[in-house]
Structure 1
């Protein structure tokens, strides 16, 4: 299944473009699922069909699903209490009833990630269109599976589970309580679930469509979002300029805003290449006819992946070069730290801890440079670890 995630600055019309994209894909015969976790029924208002926890059919090829995050949180908490029943009883803890539980911060994000996983692994559809939160929250959401898995591996290393039969003995000998079996089992289950989400996000058929309203604020938001997505190795399928005003406004009060939009659109075409545009209808889009009038194209069949190649230049310069695309990055905002077999990359407000490719783990960092939107990190083979040529 192809997955297209849609985000942009708040108020840019992300949900409208997501619904229009899904509708156009369905009109072309693609079995499409539109996924949204909006607390209010925004997709239903746009498409004219009420949506909720049960998937709703809008057209023969378009289905909309809006999972109930609070209900999912209550179910997860009930399941956790059941698994940890012995520990809770030992501590004399009082159980929480599902009716008194309200979602904690992060519950909606985890519910959306789980919904993305479940939808992407289903054979019922060919295209998954995800209406993501605004760009800053979306970037944090997309980073969550990888970061949580890294935390779990550090706190509860999987290799320690091999000694689970010895834990009671080790606990008595060392006099230190050892992690209980249920804790390792819970960590392993979370790791499997997060790995499934990571697989969807890292799939070569997954891409992001960015939406913004032409103007200075939209320009800044697009650059920040594009840089954050590049750091996650998520390709941008298209940039959609939303609510574009008509050009024939000479002599009206709209002449100034139109000129500002035209300037932004010209800059966007130069920076991003082909640009999709959606007109301003003069009112908030409502219903299938309005969404069709936006003429938002269906997603491309595929998008070039965001590869991070390693180039062997040992014969010429004695180094290996790791090329990390970071479009729009500023040299002063780039920071690199080598930590064991990982590289901590910071680009502006975004940071990612990236495992080094196997060949680079046997090297030392010689330096790095930013050129034409590409960060090139140079590695020198460690003579103590690199195979010697006869």
Structure 2
């Protein structure tokens, strides 16, 4: 039996384009399935988090996370937390599966580069781009553009990280003008779960990927809060454990501590606030789903370590500069000559009306690229080699 503060399928605000209810699936199961079957979801396989995926000329290893594996991990955490709290697991999973659809190639480096390139034309934000994908750019259904997701899923994509400040990113403003997502309030508890699940997943896997890459070692982690004690516990319980097993055992304990902390904090806040509806969650003056203050402080120390030793490591910074140069090259070329894009994109860009509208079409095309395709397009257009 779902909790009273959970989103209830029978109370969904429905879809912008009305459809008959599914015989076998709830509205949010249907949303989840449409997201999984979308072209944008498949492309996440070849979009990266930190380490750029090359196009075959240079082997970098298959063990690092991609946007797809990260998204699957986020969805798993979201299901666990939402089930423990009596929330709607289908909605939490749908938001989790969609939360990274708007990311461009080359991870956060690609987002930074496109934001700078788009500054004269309204900017770029990956959450807003995800909404643009699911409401406009996925063009498979006969009756509408996009996936025609429910209001609750769109709300979760738009503001799972909290209320959105004015002025809204242009792509988000377009969607909001068509269907008010109440951007000044918090999202449902299910969407908040997806946001925290994202934090849990990347804090865990960035440590794992950083160790595998050799950017730091287990010895470097021993003084960090949360991480050092986890390794110490493994050493106490399993002395002499081989390196990979020791690493896995320690990091899965870190993972468990984060999930249990979120559940315990949410249970305490729910008990204190006694929300009786999903609307009561939205009306609160802060998120109901979050880490405890002590754990949040510990995670800040971990993130600072990762920032210095991983995200700003010399080899990563060299890669950041290289892929930024790729986007800085191909974006203006396509903006100045849309005929460099495929025919369907050419037609849309050439008919856009003005340079800003044309730039947004070019953005849609480039933001949808995978890492390897962006590199291939750069080579095609410039003759460049890595």
**TM-score, structure 2 length as denominator?**
0.27
Higher relative contact order (CA 8 A, sep 6+): 2
Higher helix proportion, which one? 2
Higher strand proportion, which one? 1
Q: In terms of Rg, which structure is larger? A: 1
**TM-score, structure 1 length as denominator?**
0.26
